[in-house]
Amino acid sequence: MLRRASFWSALLVMLLLPPGLHAQDAAPHDATRLILATTTSTQDSGLLDYLLPVFEEQYEIEVDVIAVGTGQAIELGRNGDADIILVHARACEDAFVEEGYGTARYEVMYNDFIVVGPPDDPAGFAGMTDATAAFLKMAETESPFVSRGDDSGTHTKEMSIWKKADLEPAGGWYISAGQGMGEVLTMANELQAYTLSDRATYVSMQDKLPALTIVVEGDPILFNPYGVIPVNPDVHPQVNAAAAQVFVDWLISVETQQLIAEFEVNGQALFVPDSELWREAQAKVTPEATPEATPGS
Protein backbone atom coordinates (compact mmCIF):
# COMPACT_ATOMS: atom_id res chain seq x y z
CA MET A 1 0.00 0.00 0.00
CA LEU A 2 1.39 3.39 -1.00
CA ARG A 3 2.11 5.95 1.68
CA ARG A 4 1.82 9.62 0.84
CA ALA A 5 3.73 12.11 3.01
CA SER A 6 2.71 15.75 2.83
CA PHE A 7 5.23 18.57 2.72
CA TRP A 8 4.01 19.78 6.09
CA SER A 9 4.54 16.42 7.81
CA ALA A 10 8.02 16.25 6.32
CA LEU A 11 8.68 19.81 7.48
CA LEU A 12 7.53 18.92 11.00
CA VAL A 13 10.05 16.08 11.13
CA MET A 14 12.83 18.44 10.04
CA LEU A 15 11.88 21.08 12.60
CA LEU A 16 11.99 18.56 15.43
CA LEU A 17 15.56 17.52 14.61
CA PRO A 18 18.56 19.26 16.22
CA PRO A 19 20.09 22.16 14.23
CA GLY A 20 22.17 20.98 11.31
CA LEU A 21 20.69 17.48 11.40
CA HIS A 22 18.34 16.41 8.63
CA ALA A 23 15.85 13.58 8.51
CA GLN A 24 18.12 11.33 6.49
CA ASP A 25 20.97 11.85 8.98
CA ALA A 26 18.91 10.93 12.02
CA ALA A 27 19.24 7.17 11.51
CA PRO A 28 20.52 4.71 8.92
CA HIS A 29 18.12 4.45 6.02
CA ASP A 30 15.68 1.58 5.59
CA ALA A 31 16.85 -0.29 2.48
CA THR A 32 13.25 -1.12 1.61
CA ARG A 33 12.03 2.49 1.76
CA LEU A 34 12.57 5.27 -0.77
CA ILE A 35 11.70 8.93 -0.26
CA LEU A 36 10.67 10.61 -3.52
CA ALA A 37 10.32 14.40 -3.59
CA THR A 38 8.33 15.41 -6.62
CA THR A 39 5.98 17.97 -8.10
CA THR A 40 2.28 18.23 -7.38
CA SER A 41 1.53 17.56 -11.06
CA THR A 42 2.82 13.98 -10.95
CA GLN A 43 0.54 13.28 -8.00
CA ASP A 44 -2.50 15.40 -8.90
CA SER A 45 -2.61 13.85 -12.37
CA GLY A 46 -2.82 10.35 -10.90
CA LEU A 47 0.43 9.22 -12.57
CA LEU A 48 2.14 8.16 -9.34
CA ASP A 49 -0.84 6.16 -8.12
CA TYR A 50 -0.75 4.41 -11.49
CA LEU A 51 3.00 3.72 -11.63
CA LEU A 52 4.29 3.21 -8.10
CA PRO A 53 2.33 0.06 -7.15
CA VAL A 54 4.05 -1.68 -10.07
CA PHE A 55 7.48 -0.66 -8.79
CA GLU A 56 6.71 -1.49 -5.16
CA GLU A 57 5.44 -4.96 -6.02
CA GLN A 58 8.35 -5.73 -8.33
CA TYR A 59 11.15 -4.59 -6.03
CA GLU A 60 9.53 -4.71 -2.57
CA ILE A 61 10.64 -1.12 -1.97
CA GLU A 62 8.06 1.19 -0.44
CA VAL A 63 7.97 4.69 -1.92
CA ASP A 64 7.08 7.63 0.32
CA VAL A 65 6.04 10.58 -1.84
CA ILE A 66 6.46 14.21 -0.82
CA ALA A 67 4.53 16.17 -3.46
CA VAL A 68 5.41 19.87 -3.44
CA GLY A 69 6.53 22.52 -5.89
CA THR A 70 9.72 21.82 -7.83
CA GLY A 71 11.66 24.41 -5.83
CA GLN A 72 10.70 22.76 -2.55
CA ALA A 73 11.41 19.28 -3.95
CA ILE A 74 14.88 20.37 -5.02
CA GLU A 75 15.49 21.92 -1.60
CA LEU A 76 14.51 18.65 0.07
CA GLY A 77 17.08 16.89 -2.10
CA ARG A 78 19.67 19.57 -1.42
CA ASN A 79 19.18 19.06 2.34
CA GLY A 80 19.30 15.26 2.10
CA ASP A 81 15.65 14.92 3.14
CA ALA A 82 14.80 12.89 0.03
CA ASP A 83 16.59 10.07 -1.76
CA ILE A 84 15.53 11.12 -5.24
CA ILE A 85 13.68 13.98 -6.96
CA LEU A 86 11.33 13.97 -9.97
CA VAL A 87 10.78 17.56 -11.11
CA HIS A 88 10.25 19.89 -14.07
CA ALA A 89 12.40 23.02 -14.10
CA ARG A 90 15.37 22.22 -16.33
CA ALA A 91 17.69 25.08 -15.36
CA CYS A 92 17.20 24.36 -11.65
CA GLU A 93 17.72 20.63 -12.23
CA ASP A 94 20.97 21.23 -14.10
CA ALA A 95 22.19 23.52 -11.31
CA PHE A 96 21.30 20.86 -8.71
CA VAL A 97 23.56 18.36 -10.49
CA GLU A 98 26.32 20.86 -11.29
CA GLU A 99 26.51 21.88 -7.64
CA GLY A 100 27.04 18.25 -6.67
CA TYR A 101 23.73 17.57 -4.93
CA GLY A 102 22.52 15.14 -7.59
CA THR A 103 24.44 12.36 -9.30
CA ALA A 104 22.93 12.80 -12.78
CA ARG A 105 19.76 13.96 -14.49
CA TYR A 106 17.77 11.46 -16.54
CA GLU A 107 15.07 12.39 -19.04
CA VAL A 108 11.73 10.80 -18.15
CA MET A 109 8.84 12.37 -20.07
CA TYR A 110 7.32 15.63 -21.19
CA ASN A 111 4.03 17.37 -21.81
CA ASP A 112 3.22 21.06 -22.07
CA PHE A 113 1.87 24.02 -20.19
CA ILE A 114 -1.40 25.67 -21.16
CA VAL A 115 -3.18 28.88 -20.25
CA VAL A 116 -6.73 28.23 -19.07
CA GLY A 117 -9.46 30.74 -18.38
CA PRO A 118 -13.19 31.48 -18.50
CA PRO A 119 -15.05 30.15 -21.57
CA ASP A 120 -16.29 33.67 -22.43
CA ASP A 121 -12.60 34.74 -22.54
CA PRO A 122 -12.84 38.37 -21.32
CA ALA A 123 -9.18 39.00 -22.21
CA GLY A 124 -9.92 38.05 -25.81
CA PHE A 125 -7.04 35.75 -26.64
CA ALA A 126 -8.66 32.35 -27.10
CA GLY A 127 -6.87 30.41 -29.81
CA MET A 128 -3.61 32.34 -29.46
CA THR A 129 -0.41 30.31 -29.69
CA ASP A 130 1.98 33.05 -28.55
CA ALA A 131 2.10 32.81 -24.76
CA THR A 132 4.17 35.98 -24.37
CA ALA A 133 1.69 38.03 -26.42
CA ALA A 134 -1.15 36.56 -24.38
CA PHE A 135 0.52 37.53 -21.11
CA LEU A 136 1.08 41.06 -22.41
CA LYS A 137 -2.59 41.33 -23.35
CA MET A 138 -3.62 39.94 -19.98
CA ALA A 139 -1.62 42.64 -18.20
CA GLU A 140 -2.95 45.37 -20.48
CA THR A 141 -6.56 44.34 -19.82
CA GLU A 142 -5.82 43.61 -16.13
CA SER A 143 -7.67 40.31 -16.47
CA PRO A 144 -7.63 38.31 -13.21
CA PHE A 145 -4.76 35.82 -13.15
CA VAL A 146 -3.95 33.32 -10.39
CA SER A 147 -0.24 32.54 -10.05
CA ARG A 148 1.15 29.51 -8.25
CA GLY A 149 3.57 31.86 -6.48
CA ASP A 150 5.36 28.91 -4.90
CA ASP A 151 8.70 28.46 -6.70
CA SER A 152 7.27 25.41 -8.49
CA GLY A 153 8.18 24.38 -12.01
CA THR A 154 4.93 25.95 -13.21
CA HIS A 155 5.68 29.19 -11.37
CA THR A 156 9.22 29.20 -12.79
CA LYS A 157 7.81 28.82 -16.29
CA GLU A 158 5.30 31.61 -15.67
CA MET A 159 8.06 33.94 -14.49
CA SER A 160 10.13 33.16 -17.59
CA ILE A 161 7.21 34.21 -19.80
CA TRP A 162 6.75 37.48 -17.90
CA LYS A 163 10.49 38.08 -18.23
CA LYS A 164 10.32 37.51 -21.97
CA ALA A 165 7.41 39.99 -22.07
CA ASP A 166 9.60 42.46 -20.12
CA LEU A 167 6.87 42.85 -17.50
CA GLU A 168 6.69 42.40 -13.75
CA PRO A 169 3.05 41.57 -12.95
CA ALA A 170 1.50 43.55 -10.10
CA GLY A 171 -1.86 44.91 -9.07
CA GLY A 172 -5.20 43.65 -7.87
CA TRP A 173 -5.70 41.54 -10.99
CA TYR A 174 -2.59 39.43 -10.24
CA ILE A 175 -3.20 36.94 -7.42
CA SER A 176 -0.23 35.04 -5.97
CA ALA A 177 -1.71 31.97 -4.31
CA GLY A 178 1.30 30.11 -2.91
CA GLN A 179 -0.56 26.86 -3.54
CA GLY A 180 -0.25 23.67 -5.54
CA MET A 181 -1.61 23.24 -9.05
CA GLY A 182 -4.85 21.59 -8.04
CA GLU A 183 -5.66 24.32 -5.53
CA VAL A 184 -4.78 27.07 -8.02
CA LEU A 185 -7.01 25.57 -10.71
CA THR A 186 -9.86 25.36 -8.21
CA MET A 187 -9.28 28.99 -7.22
CA ALA A 188 -9.17 30.15 -10.86
CA ASN A 189 -12.38 28.26 -11.53
CA GLU A 190 -14.13 29.92 -8.59
CA LEU A 191 -12.84 33.40 -9.48
CA GLN A 192 -13.34 32.95 -13.24
CA ALA A 193 -9.72 33.91 -13.67
CA TYR A 194 -6.87 32.79 -15.92
CA THR A 195 -3.93 30.66 -14.84
CA LEU A 196 -0.98 28.73 -16.24
CA SER A 197 -1.27 24.98 -15.73
CA ASP A 198 0.51 21.84 -16.75
CA ARG A 199 -1.80 19.98 -19.13
CA ALA A 200 -1.85 16.77 -17.07
CA THR A 201 -3.31 18.34 -13.92
CA TYR A 202 -5.88 20.34 -15.87
CA VAL A 203 -7.09 17.33 -17.84
CA SER A 204 -7.27 15.16 -14.73
CA MET A 205 -9.41 17.81 -12.99
CA GLN A 206 -11.35 19.05 -16.01
CA ASP A 207 -14.68 17.60 -14.87
CA LYS A 208 -14.46 19.72 -11.72
CA LEU A 209 -13.55 22.93 -13.56
CA PRO A 210 -16.65 24.00 -15.53
CA ALA A 211 -15.55 27.67 -15.54
CA LEU A 212 -12.17 26.96 -17.19
CA THR A 213 -11.19 26.08 -20.74
CA ILE A 214 -7.90 26.07 -22.67
CA VAL A 215 -7.29 29.46 -24.27
CA VAL A 216 -3.58 29.41 -25.15
CA GLU A 217 -1.50 26.40 -26.20
CA GLY A 218 1.09 25.29 -28.72
CA ASP A 219 3.90 27.80 -28.06
CA PRO A 220 7.35 26.10 -27.88
CA ILE A 221 8.05 28.12 -24.72
CA LEU A 222 5.34 26.03 -23.04
CA PHE A 223 7.30 22.79 -23.45
CA ASN A 224 7.44 20.96 -20.11
CA PRO A 225 10.12 18.25 -19.63
CA TYR A 226 10.46 16.14 -16.48
CA GLY A 227 13.74 14.79 -15.11
CA VAL A 228 14.62 12.37 -12.32
CA ILE A 229 17.77 12.87 -10.21
CA PRO A 230 19.16 10.68 -7.41
CA VAL A 231 20.55 12.64 -4.47
CA ASN A 232 24.33 12.37 -4.25
CA PRO A 233 25.43 9.99 -1.43
CA ASP A 234 28.84 11.68 -1.37
CA VAL A 235 27.09 14.79 -0.02
CA HIS A 236 24.46 12.95 2.06
CA PRO A 237 25.81 9.48 2.96
CA GLN A 238 22.56 8.39 4.60
CA VAL A 239 20.42 8.60 1.46
CA ASN A 240 19.22 5.33 0.00
CA ALA A 241 21.37 5.61 -3.11
CA ALA A 242 20.98 1.98 -4.11
CA ALA A 243 17.17 2.09 -4.11
CA ALA A 244 17.24 5.48 -5.85
CA GLN A 245 19.25 4.07 -8.73
CA VAL A 246 16.98 1.02 -8.92
CA PHE A 247 14.04 3.42 -9.22
CA VAL A 248 15.76 5.46 -11.94
CA ASP A 249 16.64 2.37 -13.96
CA TRP A 250 13.05 1.16 -13.66
CA LEU A 251 11.51 4.54 -14.51
CA ILE A 252 13.55 5.07 -17.68
CA SER A 253 13.22 1.45 -18.86
CA VAL A 254 11.28 0.75 -22.04
CA GLU A 255 8.67 -1.21 -20.08
CA THR A 256 7.89 1.64 -17.68
CA GLN A 257 8.06 4.22 -20.45
CA GLN A 258 5.38 2.19 -22.22
CA LEU A 259 3.25 2.40 -19.08
CA ILE A 260 3.67 6.18 -19.13
CA ALA A 261 2.63 6.27 -22.79
CA GLU A 262 -0.50 4.28 -21.96
CA PHE A 263 -1.54 6.45 -18.99
CA GLU A 264 -4.73 8.32 -19.91
CA VAL A 265 -7.38 10.39 -18.19
CA ASN A 266 -10.67 11.07 -19.94
CA GLY A 267 -9.27 9.38 -23.03
CA GLN A 268 -6.27 11.71 -23.22
CA ALA A 269 -2.62 10.75 -22.82
CA LEU A 270 -1.09 13.10 -20.27
CA PHE A 271 2.66 12.50 -20.69
CA VAL A 272 4.97 11.58 -23.55
CA PRO A 273 7.75 9.13 -22.58
CA ASP A 274 11.17 10.54 -23.40
CA SER A 275 13.97 8.52 -21.81
CA GLU A 276 17.04 7.78 -23.90
CA LEU A 277 16.24 4.06 -23.80
CA TRP A 278 12.71 4.75 -25.02
CA ARG A 279 13.90 6.93 -27.89
CA GLU A 280 16.43 4.29 -28.94
CA ALA A 281 13.74 1.61 -28.89
CA GLN A 282 11.39 3.76 -30.96
CA ALA A 283 14.15 4.44 -33.49
CA LYS A 284 14.63 0.68 -33.94
CA VAL A 285 10.91 0.18 -34.50
CA THR A 286 10.87 2.88 -37.20
CA PRO A 287 14.48 3.02 -38.43
CA GLU A 288 13.53 4.95 -41.55
CA ALA A 289 12.40 7.89 -39.43
CA THR A 290 15.05 10.27 -38.14
CA PRO A 291 14.32 11.01 -34.47
CA GLU A 292 13.75 14.71 -33.90
CA ALA A 293 14.96 16.50 -30.83
CA THR A 294 12.19 17.14 -28.34
CA PRO A 295 11.00 20.77 -28.18
CA GLY A 296 13.17 22.93 -25.99
CA SER A 297 15.91 20.34 -25.68
Q: Per-residue pLDDT tens for 182-225?
A: 999 999 999 999 999 999 999 999 999 999 999 999 999 999 99
User: What is the structure's pLDDT at 31?
Assistant: 80
Q: What angle do CA 203, 259, 6 make, to 5 degrees?
A: 60
Residue 2: pLDDT band (50, 70, 90) is: very low
pLDDT tens digit sequence for 59-73: 999 999 999 999 999
pLDDT value of position 26: 40
pLDDT for res 119: 94
Cα–Cα distance measured from residue 250 to residue 235, given in angstroms and rounded to the nearest whole number: 24
Instruction: Count CB atoms within 10 A of the CB of residue 72.
Output: 21
CA nearest 117: which of 161, 173, 56, 157? 173
Higher pLDDT, 3 or 148: 148
Q: What is the pLDDT of residue 29?
A: 62
Section 220-238 average pLDDT:
97
pLDDT at 12: 44
Q: Using 50, 70 and 90 to split pLDDT, how confident is the model at 259?
A: very high
Q: Which domains does the chain have, with CATH numbers?
A: 3-110+225-285 (3.40.190.10), 112-222 (3.40.190.10)
Stated pTM of the model:
0.85
Question: Is 239 strand, coil or helix?
Answer: coil
CB 88 within 8 A of CB 153: yes
DSSP 173-218: TEEE----HHHHHHHHHHHT-EEEEEHHHHHHHGGG-TT-EEEE--
Top pLDDT among 13 and 144 is at: 144
Q: Does the pLDDT at position 25 exceed 60?
A: no
Mean of the per-residue pLDDT values for the chain?
Answer: 89
